[in-house]
Amino acid sequence: MPLWLLFLPICLLLLPSRSSAADDLMNEYASLPGAYIFVRRSPEGAPSDRVRIEVFEDFLCPSCYRFSTDVIPKLKEKYGDRLDLQVIGYPLVHAESRLPARAYVIAQEMGLGEQMQKELFHAHFEEQLDTASKNGLAKVADSIGLDPELLLNRLEKNDGSAEVDRNLALGESYHIDGVPGVVLDGWILVKEISQQNLETIINGLLDKKKGTTKAATKKPQK
């Protein structure tokens, strides 16, 4: 047997673990206050100076409606551009929620995602409009300046279905089993959906990002 083969196991043991960097990062962030769990080993697509917040919503869910109309506006007012908000249509609670989720995807493509999201909740919970029907969605579209006929034609062609499927797969990968579901920086699943808990975690994340930025920009002493 070649002599180098005898030393191969020892060399492999001495190699650094590929997950050591991720372990160190998780250990560093484990000191974050608040109720949450890690669903990734490291941040995914997180900006360096803001907190990315992904909100998974079922547009027929009353809890999602309350969260969207109460908590989110307060967070946006407090953090402004330090918060990178992304709303994701997630038809989890009701089977018929898939149709408004697809309509939201189509509106997003046309630059009307925020308007559609707000009007879907407003129409369903405040005007008691059936937003799970094509007639209801046509009225919602008209109210935000989206051609109702265009929306219905695209829904008829099954547009938005592939995107909704990807959203469902993403939510499953995050282990989201209820809505609203909130994920911060692509790796932290919030366990208690309250304004206080969210602010606690977001403040901690911003502090760590601020510390990391200072460390990176600090000039070495001569």
Residue whose pair of structure tokens reads 């907190």 in the numeric block: 51
The pLDDT, as a whole number, for residue 199 is 98
pLDDT attached to residue 45: 87
- Given this model, what pLDDT does residue 211 score? 78
- Is 160:105 a contact under the CB 8 Å cutoff? yes
3-state secondary structure (DSSP) of residue 160: coil
Q: Angle 23-28-30 (CA atoms, 0-180°, nearest 5)?
A: 90
Tell me the whole-structure pTM to 2 decimals: 0.85
Q: What is the SS3 assignment for 88?
A: strand
Neighbours of 146 (CB within 10 A): 22
pLDDT at 13 (0 to 100): 44
Q: For residue 26, what pLDDT is reported?
A: 75
The whole-angstrom separation of Cα 193 and Cα 73 is: 14
Tens digits of residue pLDDT in 184-204: 999 999 999 999 999 999 999
Question: In 3-state terms, what secondary structure has residue 53?
Answer: strand
- Res 30: pLDDT: 83
Show the tokens assigned to 112: 């009307």
Which residue carries 């707000």 as its tokens? 118
Contact 90, 55 (CB under 8 A): no
pLDDT at position 22: 67
Which residue bears the tokens 């059936």?
130
Burial (Cβ within 10 Å: 0-12, 13-18, ≥19) of residue 45: exposed
218: phi then psi, degrees, rounded to nearest 5: -70, 125
Predicted pLDDT at 2: 53
Residues in the chain where the model's pLDDT stays below 50: 3-15, 17, 217
Q: Which residue segments constitute the domains of the chain, with CATH numbers given?
A: 34-206 (3.40.30.10)
